[in-house]
Amino acid sequence: MSRNASPRFDNSYSRLPAAFYSRQAPTPVRSPALVRVNHALAGELGLSAEWLESAEGLAVLSGNSLAPGSDPIATAYAGHQFGGWNPRLGDGRAILLGEIIGLDGQRYDLQLKGAGRTPYARGGDGRSPLGPVLREYLIAEAMAVLGVPTSRALAAVTTGEQVYRDTPQPGGILTRIASSHIRIGTFQFFAGQGDADAVRALADHVLARHYPECLESERPYLELLRAVIRRQARLIAQWMQLGFIHGVMNTDNMLISGETIDYGPCAFMDRHDPATVYSSIDTGGRYAYANQPGIGQWNLAWLARVLLPLIDQDQDTAVGLAQSAIDEYVGLYQDAHAELMAAKLGFPIADQAARELVDDLLKLMTTQRSDHTLTFRRLAELAGPALGHSVADLIELAEPFTPWLERWLRQLEIAAPDAAQRQARMLALNPAFIPRNHLVEEVIRAAVDCGNVQPFHRLADRLARPFDYEPEDARYATPPAAGEEVLCTFCGT
Ligand code: AMP
Ligand code: MG
């Protein structure tokens, strides 16, 4: 396609039955301005960054005009929020402009978040403050470059309008890309209404779109469930190895595609502590760091439940098959976690010795209140020859680590004897830079309170190369000093 043109759409979701969505155009905004266009992502999608940055592009990214071929809809879904059933959620402020095919041949949703009220808005204003838009941009893109499946941020704009939360704030719109926005809660929406035909139509759409390999199976719907379970197990293991806390793992925030979505009150933890919770609304700690794997299984059990009638006509048979799929989750998660953590420590396979070293390290990190990210980064450095650029000034592995370090290095000599090679592998798995909460807050404050988006750009640029440590950027790798820590995050809805 021409690189100077607007996106070319091929909208499959809006061809599904009418109950799946409401047709809804974005509500125009007064005075849009571009904050950032993601050039790298635009390139991957075959979109022209120049066009996105043009007046025409800005009009589309702010919802002030529709690109040709766009068929804007808000999708219906339900979900369990903090364990409680809500039969009617849906895109209250997000509008799917349409689907495009990326250069990889894959289909991607192009969605505006904060584009105005929809029939699912209930009491909401359909808008988003700029702060959460910048937050989602930074964290989604950091996750992507860290190798975690995720929705992406294509662009952020300001609206020139104020939104009213506790205080008036500048409004923003995020352009979000995901391989789809179909959630566990999308299935639950139809199952909750007893609409078996819609559940089947949705499952068929998902099979064709995300899991065509399951269509070969004798039981495609069971295979679909098992495939989603595999992806979610691995996804959550990836969060855990990075110290990422999603914060609002409601079933409506879990994508069937296995990508991370809904960066609201999420955060990367600084000190390693399994009990860490940041979200202001998670008062019971339901979505604490260490609870995430178990919540993942709880959420998937709801998907299993709604798929039961498709799995087998005989209910007992269906329940037996679905239950064993759900039971498999535990081993899948544990294996994925062990494999990722062993690799972080330089081990090519997660054998018994590696697993024990991982467990003991995590216990030590908890009792020593060690910085999650820097501990692993420092271990990567220590696994091989001394490096010119080191985080040694930023973290000290105190005396209680010594016996563990000796054991680990002895085991490394056996399992991965080439020191330079294992170190290089580890340096490429253990980032020096993550979107630390206090830095994210700092750049949001500059943008929101002072209208200065330069700190946001600098942080976004720095986070794009998380594995290349440079001492001149030490402040971006440094944990918060006492008093700088952000202990509470808000989803800003
Ligand atoms: P979230 O917490 O972002 O997962 O949103 C939960 C639900 O509330 C979803 O149905 C959202 O579409 C809806 N929602 C959140 N914020 C707003 C808003 N400002 N206006 C309308 N709906 C909203
Ligand atoms: Mg949500």
- Which ligand 1 atom is at minimum distance from the Cα of 90? 10
Indicate which residue of 91, 252, 262, 270 is catalytic: 252
Structure tokens at 229: 């379970």
- How far does Cα 167 stand from its chain's mean position? 28
Give the residue, by CA position, lying nearest to ligand 1 atom 6.
89
What pairs with residue 170 in β-bridges? Answer: 162
Question: What's this model's pTM, rounded to 2 decimal places?
Answer: 0.97
Catalytic site residue 195? no
Nearest ligand atom owner, CA of 126: 1
| Cα torsion through 234, 236, 239, 240, rounded to 10 | -100
Residues of the chain with pLDDT under 50: 1-3
What pLDDT, on the 0 to 100 scale, is given for residue 493?
Answer: 56
Task: List own/partner pairs for 440-449 with CB under 8 A and 24 or more apart.
Answer: 440/134, 440/135, 440/138, 440/139, 440/486, 441/486, 443/134, 443/138, 444/130, 444/131, 444/134, 444/135, 447/35, 447/130, 447/131, 447/134, 448/129, 448/130, 448/131, 448/169, 448/170
What pLDDT, on the 0 to 100 scale, is given for residue 492?
Answer: 56
Question: Is the CB of 209 within 6 Å of ligand 1?
Answer: no
Distance CA 192, CA 185 (A): 10
Distance CA 460, CA 18 (A): 39
Nearest ligand atom owner, CA of 252: 2
Task: Say if residues 356 and 411 touch (Cβ distance below 8 Å).
Answer: no
What pLDDT, on the 0 to 100 scale, is given for residue 485?
Answer: 80
Phi, psi of 58 (to 5 degrees): -60, -40
Structure tokens at 127: 């808008």
What pLDDT, on the 0 to 100 scale, is given for residue 4?
Answer: 60
CA–centroid distance, 122 to ligand 1, in Å, is 9
Question: Is the CB of 121 within 6 Å of ligand 1?
Answer: yes
CA–centroid distance, 341 to ligand 2, in Å, is 29
DSSP structure string for 373-417: HHHHHHHHHHTSS--SS-GGGT----GGGHHHHHHHHHHHHHH--
DSSP structure string for 277-304: --BTT-TT-TT-GGGHHHHHHHHHHHHH
Nearest ligand atom owner, CA of 118: 1
Give the residue, by CA position, lying nearest to ligand 1 atom 5.
493
Q: Report DSSP state, residue 150.
A: B
Distance CA 52, CA 250 (A): 33
Phi, psi of 405 (to 5 degrees): -60, -40
Distance CA 344, CA 397 (A): 17
Amino acid at 329: Y
Structure tokens at 309: 């009638």
Task: Say if residues 45 and 102 touch (Cβ distance below 8 Å).
Answer: yes
CA–centroid distance, 253 to ligand 2, in Å, is 5
Question: Is the CB of 91 within 6 Å of ligand 1?
Answer: yes
- Which ligand 1 atom is at minimum distance from the Cα of 125? 20
Q: Three-state DSSP class for 95?
A: strand
Question: Is the CB of 173 within 6 Å of ligand 1?
Answer: no
Amino acid at 255: L
CA–centroid distance, 191 to ligand 1, in Å, is 21
CA–centroid distance, 75 to ligand 1, in Å, is 12
Give the residue, by CA position, lying nearest to ligand 1 atom 11.
92
Best residue among 21, 93, 176 to mutate for probing ligand 1, ranked by most atoms within 8 Å of CB: 93
Question: Is the CB of 27 within 6 Å of ligand 1?
Answer: no
Question: Is the CB of 127 within 6 Å of ligand 1?
Answer: yes
Going 56 to 59 to 65 to 71, the CA torsion angle's sign is positive
What pLDDT, on the 0 to 100 scale, is given for residue 490?
Answer: 65
- How far does Cα 239 stand from its chain's mean position? 9
Note residues around ion ligand 2 (Cβ under 5 angstroms). 253, 262
CA–centroid distance, 324 to ligand 1, in Å, is 34
- Which ligand 1 atom is at minimum distance from the Cα of 128? 19
- Which ligand 1 atom is at minimum distance from the Cα of 493? 16
